[in-house]
Homo-oligomer: A and B are copies of this chain.
């Protein structure tokens, strides 16, 4: 059975990410952000802003939900909406100055917090992990596209 071949790696992926999430999310909440809010702030960091469409694609948040997430960040003064000059249908979102400050307070410290676990893996094996993850992601994205456009 070819199926049994993939079970261990699927299980390990799920368990590993679960462990990652447990560590990461607990730290994110200490910053006073929810995981989706953190995702948006970090995605907007070091960019001139982007449309809802692009922000949604990058964060995996669908448009209806994204409106709410951006609303809550905007209510706290961390992001702002701008009309898109090129396309009247489109709205750009970008960090405000306060949002940039939040990004600065949050991004590096979060990486520093996560780093020890990743640094405990020897460099060669870390590179190996990175390469395999990329390989798997590309395979998953192909499948995703196949589902979306089944000719």
Copies in the complex: 2
Q: Contacts A117-B140, A139-B121, A140-B117: A133 and B23 contacting too (C-beta < 8 A)? A: no
Kindly identify, within residues 66 to 119 of chain A, every residue whose CB is under 8 Å from any CB belonging to chain B: 108, 111-112, 114-119
With A128-B128, A130-B9, A133-B12 given, is the CB distance from A139 to B120 under 8 Å? yes
Q: With the chains together, A26 CA to B120 CA distance in Å?
A: 34
CB distance from A130 to the nearest CB of B (A): 5
CB distance from A73 to the nearest CB of B (A): 20
Please determine whether B134 and A16 come into contact, CB atoms closer than 8 angstroms. Answer: yes
Q: Which residues of A are interface residues toward B (Cβ below 8 A)?
A: 2-3, 5-10, 12-13, 15-23, 26, 60, 108, 111-112, 114-121, 123, 125-126, 128-130, 132-137, 139-144, 147
* B-chain residues with CB within 8 Å of residue A144 when the two chains form the complex: 19, 22-23
Nearest Cβ distance between residue A143 and chain B, in whole angstroms? Answer: 5
* Cα–Cα distance between A134 and B115 once the two chains are bound (Å): 17
Contact A118 B10 (CB under 8 A): yes
Determine if A118 and B137 form an interchain contact, defined as CB atoms under 8 angstroms apart. Answer: no
